[in-house]
Structure 1
Amino acid sequence: MVLERMLIVEGETVLKIGFGTGHCLKRIAECVGQTGKVYGIGISSGMIGMTKKRLEKAGQVNLFHALF
Protein backbone atom coordinates (compact mmCIF):
# COMPACT_ATOMS: atom_id res chain seq x y z
CA MET A 1 0.00 0.00 0.00
CA VAL A 2 1.11 3.57 -0.63
CA LEU A 3 1.09 4.56 3.06
CA GLU A 4 3.68 1.92 3.92
CA ARG A 5 5.93 3.22 1.15
CA MET A 6 5.68 6.77 2.52
CA LEU A 7 7.43 5.70 5.74
CA ILE A 8 5.33 7.99 7.94
CA VAL A 9 6.63 7.98 11.51
CA GLU A 10 5.40 9.22 14.87
CA GLY A 11 5.57 12.98 15.34
CA GLU A 12 5.41 13.93 11.66
CA THR A 13 3.01 16.39 10.06
CA VAL A 14 1.19 15.10 6.96
CA LEU A 15 -1.00 16.91 4.41
CA LYS A 16 -3.47 14.82 2.38
CA ILE A 17 -5.22 16.53 -0.52
CA GLY A 18 -8.44 14.81 -1.60
CA PHE A 19 -9.11 12.44 1.31
CA GLY A 20 -12.52 11.06 0.23
CA THR A 21 -14.21 9.28 3.12
CA GLY A 22 -11.17 9.64 5.37
CA HIS A 23 -10.04 6.02 5.66
CA CYS A 24 -6.49 7.00 4.69
CA LEU A 25 -6.52 9.86 7.22
CA LYS A 26 -7.31 7.42 10.01
CA ARG A 27 -4.35 5.25 9.03
CA ILE A 28 -2.09 8.30 8.77
CA ALA A 29 -3.24 9.50 12.21
CA GLU A 30 -2.31 6.12 13.66
CA CYS A 31 1.16 6.42 12.11
CA VAL A 32 1.90 9.95 13.36
CA GLY A 33 0.54 9.24 16.85
CA GLN A 34 -0.46 11.83 19.42
CA THR A 35 2.60 14.00 18.78
CA GLY A 36 1.98 14.33 15.03
CA LYS A 37 -0.54 16.29 12.99
CA VAL A 38 -2.66 15.37 9.98
CA TYR A 39 -4.22 17.95 7.67
CA GLY A 40 -6.76 17.10 5.00
CA ILE A 41 -8.05 19.32 2.19
CA GLY A 42 -11.24 18.38 0.37
CA ILE A 43 -13.77 19.98 -1.97
CA SER A 44 -16.95 18.28 -0.73
CA SER A 45 -18.44 19.77 2.42
CA GLY A 46 -20.56 16.62 2.82
CA MET A 47 -17.52 14.36 2.79
CA ILE A 48 -15.70 16.67 5.19
CA GLY A 49 -18.63 16.48 7.62
CA MET A 50 -18.78 12.68 7.39
CA THR A 51 -15.02 12.39 7.84
CA LYS A 52 -15.04 14.72 10.87
CA LYS A 53 -17.60 12.48 12.57
CA ARG A 54 -15.61 9.36 11.72
CA LEU A 55 -12.33 10.81 13.03
CA GLU A 56 -13.49 12.84 16.04
CA LYS A 57 -11.51 10.56 18.39
CA ALA A 58 -8.31 11.16 16.41
CA GLY A 59 -7.68 14.65 17.78
CA GLN A 60 -4.68 15.37 15.59
CA VAL A 61 -6.70 15.43 12.33
CA ASN A 62 -7.63 18.87 10.93
CA LEU A 63 -9.88 19.15 7.87
CA PHE A 64 -10.29 22.11 5.53
CA HIS A 65 -12.74 22.87 2.73
CA ALA A 66 -11.12 24.15 -0.45
CA LEU A 67 -13.01 25.66 -3.36
CA PHE A 68 -11.23 24.66 -6.56
Structure 2
Amino acid sequence: GSKALIKLRGELVRLYNEQQKLAASVQSDGEKALTDGLLADMEQINRKAHEAVGFTYTPLEQLAALQ
Protein backbone atom coordinates (compact mmCIF):
# COMPACT_ATOMS: atom_id res chain seq x y z
CA GLY A 1 0.00 0.00 0.00
CA SER A 2 2.62 2.54 0.95
CA LYS A 3 4.72 1.84 -2.19
CA ALA A 4 1.67 2.44 -4.35
CA LEU A 5 0.94 5.67 -2.48
CA ILE A 6 4.49 6.90 -3.00
CA LYS A 7 4.26 6.21 -6.73
CA LEU A 8 0.82 7.86 -6.92
CA ARG A 9 2.06 10.91 -5.02
CA GLY A 10 4.95 11.26 -7.45
CA GLU A 11 2.58 11.23 -10.40
CA LEU A 12 0.15 13.61 -8.70
CA VAL A 13 2.98 16.06 -7.97
CA ARG A 14 4.07 15.87 -11.61
CA LEU A 15 0.48 16.57 -12.70
CA TYR A 16 0.16 19.32 -10.07
CA ASN A 17 3.21 21.08 -11.53
CA GLU A 18 1.69 20.85 -15.02
CA GLN A 19 -1.63 22.13 -13.66
CA GLN A 20 0.15 25.12 -12.12
CA LYS A 21 1.66 25.96 -15.52
CA LEU A 22 -1.78 25.75 -17.09
CA ALA A 23 -3.30 27.89 -14.33
CA ALA A 24 -0.67 30.57 -14.94
CA SER A 25 -1.61 30.80 -18.60
CA VAL A 26 -5.42 30.86 -18.39
CA GLN A 27 -7.08 33.54 -20.43
CA SER A 28 -10.71 33.28 -19.42
CA ASP A 29 -12.93 32.57 -16.44
CA GLY A 30 -13.91 29.29 -18.07
CA GLU A 31 -10.30 28.16 -18.32
CA LYS A 32 -9.70 29.19 -14.71
CA ALA A 33 -12.71 27.14 -13.62
CA LEU A 34 -11.35 24.12 -15.50
CA THR A 35 -7.88 24.36 -13.98
CA ASP A 36 -9.35 24.92 -10.50
CA GLY A 37 -11.60 21.89 -11.00
CA LEU A 38 -8.62 19.80 -12.07
CA LEU A 39 -6.74 20.77 -8.91
CA ALA A 40 -9.76 19.94 -6.75
CA ASP A 41 -10.06 16.51 -8.39
CA MET A 42 -6.36 15.79 -7.88
CA GLU A 43 -6.54 16.86 -4.23
CA GLN A 44 -9.52 14.56 -3.69
CA ILE A 45 -7.61 11.62 -5.20
CA ASN A 46 -4.61 12.52 -3.06
CA ARG A 47 -6.70 12.70 0.14
CA LYS A 48 -8.48 9.39 -0.52
CA ALA A 49 -5.20 7.62 -1.29
CA HIS A 50 -3.65 8.83 1.96
CA GLU A 51 -6.72 7.74 3.93
CA ALA A 52 -6.74 4.33 2.25
CA VAL A 53 -3.29 3.48 3.61
CA GLY A 54 -3.63 5.33 6.91
CA PHE A 55 -1.16 8.12 6.13
CA THR A 56 -1.61 11.72 7.17
CA TYR A 57 -2.95 13.75 4.25
CA THR A 58 -0.49 16.23 2.79
CA PRO A 59 -1.75 18.74 0.17
CA LEU A 60 -0.17 18.60 -3.26
CA GLU A 61 1.24 22.10 -2.87
CA GLN A 62 3.26 20.94 0.13
CA LEU A 63 4.34 17.72 -1.58
CA ALA A 64 5.50 19.71 -4.61
CA ALA A 65 7.51 22.05 -2.38
CA LEU A 66 9.35 19.04 -0.95
CA GLN A 67 10.45 17.84 -4.39
TM over 0.5: no
Higher strand proportion: 1
Name whichever structure is richer in helix by fraction.
2
